[in-house]
Amino acid sequence: MQLLTPFPLLQALGMECFVAIDLETTGLDATADEILEVGMAKVVKGKVCEHFNQLIQVEQQIPEHISSITGISNEDVAGQPSINEVLPRIIDFIGDAPLVGHNIGFDLSFLNEQLQRVDLRQQTNFVSSQPASSLKMRQLPNPHIDTLVLSRILLPRLSNHRLEHLAQYFGLSQKKTHRALDDALTVVNLFDYLIQCANKLDKEVLGFINRLLKPWQGRDSQSNLLPDFFGHLVDLSRSGERIPTKRMVSQQLSSPPKVDNLIGFETGSQTVASAKFDFDKIKAVFLPGGILEKARPGYEARPQQLQMVEAVCRAFSEESFLLIEAGTGTGKSWAYLIPAIYWSQSQIQTKETDDSFLPTRIIISTNTKNLQEQIFFKDIPFLRSHLKLPFRAVLLKGRNNYLCWHRWKDFILELEHRQLSSLKERLELLPVAVWLSETLTGDIEENTGFRAHQKPYVWAKLHSDSRYCKGNKCSFNSVCFVNRVRRAARNAHLVVVNHSLLFSDLVSNNSVLSEYQNLIVDEAHNLENAATQYLGVEAHLWQIRNLVNNLYYFDGRETGLLPRMRQAIYKGKLSQNTQETLLGNIEAVTSLTRSLDQASSRFFRQLSEACWEFNLRQRQPIGTKIRYRDWLENFPSTGIVTNEFLNELQELAGELRRLHENLLLVKAEEIAEVEDFLFDLEGTCQEADELLAVFKMLIEATDQRYVFWLEPSPRGENFDSRIKAAPLSVSFLLKPLLYDRLRTAIFTSATLSINGQFDYFKSRVGLDLVDPDRLLENALGSPFDFEHQVLVAVPKFLPTPKEVGFIETTVSLLCDTISHLHRGTLILFTSYELLGKVYEGLKINLESEDVLILGQGKDGARHALLRQFCEQKGTVLLGTNSFWEGIDIPGTPLEILVITRLPFEVPSEPIIQARMEAIEQRGGNSFYQFSVPAAILRFRQGFGRLIRTKSDRGVVIILDNRALRFRYGSLFLESLPVIPKVFNTPREMLNAIEKWFFR
Ligand code: SF4
């Protein structure tokens, strides 16, 4: 195999010879798991000239999911050499060549672990070309390049960076994935393409990368080669000898297409004057022969969809609040989007200032990212092109999703000054640098290379923040991502947001969305939880650390706002008096940052210990949440450190204000950057004031409208405890903040009602406080024929979950069902504890059968589990809370759904406990008025995972016998669209299910 990259380029990059490596292992932990297979390919002068491929005998049994992924069985490795025997050959093959691998740190950790365990000198057949010093170190001394890191840097907008995905993206032929040699050869190809992508990098971006990595260039050989790799590229481009890549397939090397968060804002597109809101015309879009049927072959008008269209049209024209339940398969997004588009076109207002037209905006809020993207990137473009209406739409997120140019530049300047920042820290920022040269939106979610969710504390310093936003005075104003999208959102017909933004906008007086009067809430069953979460308050140690570090940071060199100001004051043309005052202020603030840093550490350490002791006394896991009403009563040992911490924070806030006031007296002629300093200082003052207010509110805990609790770190780390508060009821907030100013509101979901009644939902989110004459309610039936599509089985012979023997009988019944039927099975749990026990039981009992069993938290991330579940027929997947909704698996991968327990909320959860108490105090019955209806809605969400299309068929098994034995149980069963069948013996049930599948 010959590489596409010309040899001179490989040579210039120091890659005349390299070895691509991949290992298959029995698990992810190098200290506990074993190497199953080693694959290597040696590349010399741009040509693969030698292969190494070896299966390895392991001591442990190969886990099922590993066999399923790799195709390597216990039989395959029986009789193969041990790792001790293979290791010398591996080292021999590698020699002193640089290594290239995908996530190579993983492979190196396994090899180095083995090197540490094996006394290589005892291996008689070992002939090493390694220097003796490396053997002493017991780790491979070869320098390396990680293609995963490289692809994250060079292709930051790719949806993911798994090897198979990258191979597909570049159109590389990949025989088998997850076999060591095939993957090593794919790595060779991938590296080849990535070199060419790097060679195409914009000069400016390349220069920036090189500047950041410079301190690590030319270091000893036991290192990451990436700094040198980029250094060589820069040298080539400087010398004008950038070597062209001859056979480069430009299409293959282009970045993924750019996405935009604006639709319909092309130059020349204008809002046209009002058109009549015509019900019949809108309905005709859905009817046979209408626009939808013509545009989407196979589209069928559904009665429930038409009913929904009518109801939405009525809500708009009567300015009402519509609560509409529409099951899966109704086509509900089109049923509200199309009337919404026509409505916004009919309500164009004329601007007083210049007679131009302004659209009536409709805000559409969803709970999940999936639905938000479906609406914005699929539904809206489709409708725009087929309805032929010139509407504009914007996908708007919270400010903290967008990068702020001003903060990015400052951050990089600081980083370059810091001596001790690590290579890892800098490499992690490179995907941002490349992405910034491409992105239209500045929305960090499109940057899969950076992974902001894994680095919240770095991202907190880069994202747009109103406290540090210079607005019109910002020199980046014209290219600012936030300004661009917000301006567009003010002129759009449809603004798609999520519940998080909807609520954070409410508490910030509509600072993001500005005034709006029409709202559509999809996935509305999550409204109460979302409001609880986003209208709540939270405090943790990192908020203080961020504040302190932004002001002053020392790692061999001083960085931060205070040293910058000090330097400018020395250089400035100030009177001696003013200079001394300001330097005195700065000294005082600097000293307070140190004492606050220490006081906050003491406070959180003491708090963690108090939580630890509390949970120990209560015999609860160390991470159990602790509700408190009186801080000192619950955590008396924290009294002194709490006062000390609050005092320090207060003093810092006060001293910052004093510094700000004194700096206000300074003129630009005296210090050129004074305006910038004042601006940053004002943001910092605001941050300190806000933090003080939040910590005080949480510690005083006097606001009766809130519930307060502590979340200790589940791992017992001091720095990871969180103090939280959430509104006891969201009604009192939503009514005045939201409902009172809306003309039209539509709340929709597949599960809003209980037996056709919306009372529970209304009472939870405050819609019962709205004028009843303005409320329209409609529970649409389902377009599915549940009688023929689903069998609901309730085994009467099982004990209830709290009785002895529930787990054993459940495991036994599940084993019989799985081995008898061999169909894709999703088992839903309400706790990890029960999931773990059933998982173990199934593994042990079904060991000899060819069934893949996957458990949440056991066999990989949620999306990987779902992918494997869909790919391999007859897989069994065990999941907890996040699997009860938002999973869409049509067809045969999912034919049996098991509900292990009725999904009651955990009554000891602080917010649930407080809400139940509040109902009891009002003389109500918290179980029937709160616990049961909430569980029924969740139960229906879980049930909804099975039938996703008209052709799906399957069985739901409800293992929780309380559904039969207790009075409330009938409420659950009655909420289903089919009458369940009750079975007295396992045999009877299995026969009936088998018969039903073959009917
Ligand atoms: S206008 Fe504000 S958010 Fe935009 S780049 Fe400037 S400081 Fe950042």
pLDDT tens digits, residue range 300-346?
888 999 999 999 999 999 999 999 999 888 999 999 999 999 999 88
Q: What SS3 state is found at 88?
A: helix
670-689: burial string, b at 16+ Cβ within 10 Å, e else: bbebbebbebbbbbbbbbbb
Both structure tokens of 889? 């698996």
Alpha carbon nearest to ligand 1 atom 6, residue: 474
Round the CA-based radius of gyration of the chain to a whole number and report it.
Answer: 31
Q: Average of pLDDT values for 97-101?
A: 96
Q: How confident is the model at residue 188 (pLDDT cuts 50, 70, 90)?
A: very high
645: CB partners within 8 A, 6+ apart? 596, 599, 600, 602, 603, 695
- Rounded-to-integer distance, Cα 706 and Cα 685, Å: 27
Mutate to test the pocket of ligand 1, among 405, 466, 481 (most ligand atoms within 8 A of CB): 405
844: CB partners within 8 A, 6+ apart? none
Q: Residue 205 — φ and ψ, nearest 5°? A: -65, -45
Which has the higher per-residue pLDDT, 559 or 497?
497
Q: Is the pLDDT of residue 250 over 60?
A: no
Q: Which of 164-178, 239-253, 676-690, 731-745 is predicted least confidently?
A: 239-253
- Going by the DSSP 8-state scheme, the letter that residue 48 receives in this structure is E
Answer yes or no: is the C-beta of 469 below 6 A from any ligand 1 atom.
yes
- Rounded-to-integer distance, Cα 435 and Cα 447, Å: 7
Mutate to test the pocket of ligand 1, among 408, 474, 680 (most ligand atoms within 8 A of CB): 474
Alpha carbon nearest to ligand 1 atom 2, residue: 469
Q: Which atom of ligand 1 is nearest to the CA of 468?
A: 7
Q: Average of pLDDT values for 748-773?
A: 94
Span from the CA of 423 to the centroid of ligand 1 (angstroms):
28
Q: Average of pLDDT values for 278-304?
A: 92
| pLDDT (0 to 100) of residue 846 | 86
To 5 degrees, how large is the angle CA 525–CA 529–CA 530?
A: 95
Strand partners, 325: 749, 779
Alpha helices in 822-871 (DSSP H): 832-845, 862-871
Tell me the DSSP string of 178-229: T-HHHHHHHHHHHHHHHHHHHHTS-HHHHHHHHHHHGGGTT--SSSBSHHHH
Answer yes or no: is the C-beta of 406 below 6 A from any ligand 1 atom.
yes
Span from the CA of 472 to the centroid of ligand 1 (angstroms):
9
H/E stretch holding 347 reads none
The mean predicted confidence, pLDDT, of the chain is: 90
Mutate to test the pocket of ligand 1, among 410, 483, 486, 512 (most ligand atoms within 8 A of CB): 483
- Rounded-to-integer distance, Cα 191 and Cα 185, Å: 10
| pLDDT (0 to 100) of residue 573 | 94
Answer yes or no: is the C-beta of 346 below 6 A from any ligand 1 atom.
no
User: Going by DSSP bridges, is the β-strand pair 99-101/144-146 parallel, antiparallel, or unpaired?
Assistant: parallel
Mutate to test the pocket of ligand 1, among 473, 476, 485, 675 (most ligand atoms within 8 A of CB): 476
Q: Is the pLDDT of residue 355 over 60?
A: no
Nearest to 140 by CA among 213, 179, 211, 91: 91
- Rounded-to-integer distance, Cα 75 and Cα 70, Å: 13
- Rounded-to-integer distance, Cα 836 and Cα 856, Å: 9
| pLDDT (0 to 100) of residue 248 | 45
| pLDDT (0 to 100) of residue 124 | 43
| pLDDT (0 to 100) of residue 529 | 94
Environment class of 427 (CB within 10 Å of its CB; exposed 0-12, middle 13-18, buried 19+): buried
Q: Is the pLDDT of residue 625 over 60?
A: yes
Q: How confident is the model at residue 134 (pLDDT cuts 50, 70, 90)?
A: very low
| pLDDT (0 to 100) of residue 455 | 84
Q: How confident is the model at residue 795 (pLDDT cuts 50, 70, 90)?
A: very high
The CATH T-level fold of domain 786-997 is Rossmann fold (3.40.50)
Span from the CA of 405 to the centroid of ligand 1 (angstroms):
6
Q: Residue 880 — φ and ψ, nearest 5°? A: -105, -140
Give the alpha-carbon dihedral of 510, 512, 516, 519, to 10 degrees.
-100
Which has the higher per-residue pLDDT, 255 or 921?
921
| pLDDT (0 to 100) of residue 880 | 94
Alpha carbon nearest to ligand 1 atom 4, residue: 480
Alpha helices in 796-909 (DSSP H): 806-821, 832-845, 862-871
Both structure tokens of 260? 């935009």
Environment class of 780 (CB within 10 Å of its CB; exposed 0-12, middle 13-18, buried 19+): buried
Q: Is the pLDDT of residue 122 over 60?
A: no
Q: Average of pLDDT values for 795-815?
A: 93
Both structure tokens of 766? 């405050």
| CB 818, CB 851: distance < 8 Å | yes
Q: Residue 614 — φ and ψ, nearest 5°? A: -60, -50
- Rounded-to-integer distance, Cα 558 and Cα 355, Å: 56
Answer yes or no: is the C-beta of 464 below 6 A from any ligand 1 atom.
yes
**Quick one: angle between helices 541-551 and 674-700, nearest 10?**
160
Domain residue extents for the chain? 7-252, 551-619+633-700, 786-997
Nearest to 462 by CA among 508, 527, 423, 405: 405
Both structure tokens of 538? 């939270």
Q: Is the pLDDT of residue 245 over 80?
A: no
Both structure tokens of 679? 């601006």
H/E stretch holding 81 reads none
| pLDDT (0 to 100) of residue 267 | 65
Span from the CA of 400 to the centroid of ligand 1 (angstroms):
12
Alpha carbon nearest to ligand 1 atom 7, residue: 469
Span from the CA of 802 to the centroid of ligand 1 (angstroms):
56
Q: Is the pLDDT of residue 273 over 80?
A: no
775: CB partners within 8 A, 6+ apart? 320, 321, 323, 762, 767
| CB 33, CB 69: distance < 8 Å | no
Of the chain, the percentage scoring pLDDT greater than 90 comes to 67
Q: Residue holding tokens 């939503």? A: 734
Per DSSP, which regions of 298-346 are E strands?
321-325
- Rounded-to-integer distance, Cα 449 and Cα 698, Å: 36
Q: Is the pLDDT of residue 126 over 50?
A: no
Q: Is the pLDDT of residue 871 over 90?
A: no
Q: Is the pLDDT of residue 537 over 90?
A: yes
- Rounded-to-integer distance, Cα 55 and Cα 73, Å: 11
| pLDDT (0 to 100) of residue 288 | 92
Of the chain, the percentage scoring pLDDT greater than 70 comes to 93
Q: What SS3 state is found at 287?
A: coil
Type of residue at 990: L
| pLDDT (0 to 100) of residue 121 | 46
Nearest to 21 by CA among 182, 197, 224, 225: 182
Q: Is the pLDDT of residue 242 over 90?
A: no
| pLDDT (0 to 100) of residue 454 | 85
Contacts 24+ apart (CB under 8 A), 672-675: 672/568, 672/572, 673/568, 674/568, 675/473
| pLDDT (0 to 100) of residue 955 | 97
Answer yes or no: is the C-beta of 403 below 6 A from any ligand 1 atom.
no
Q: Average of pLDDT values for 428-439?
A: 93
| CB 258, CB 438: distance < 8 Å | yes
| pLDDT (0 to 100) of residue 557 | 78
Q: Which of 119-123, 172-176, 294-298 is predicted least confidently?
A: 119-123
Nearest to 503 by CA among 490, 481, 486, 521: 521
Indicate the CATH number of 7-252 among 3.30.465.10, 3.40.50.970, 3.40.640.10, 3.30.420.10: 3.30.420.10
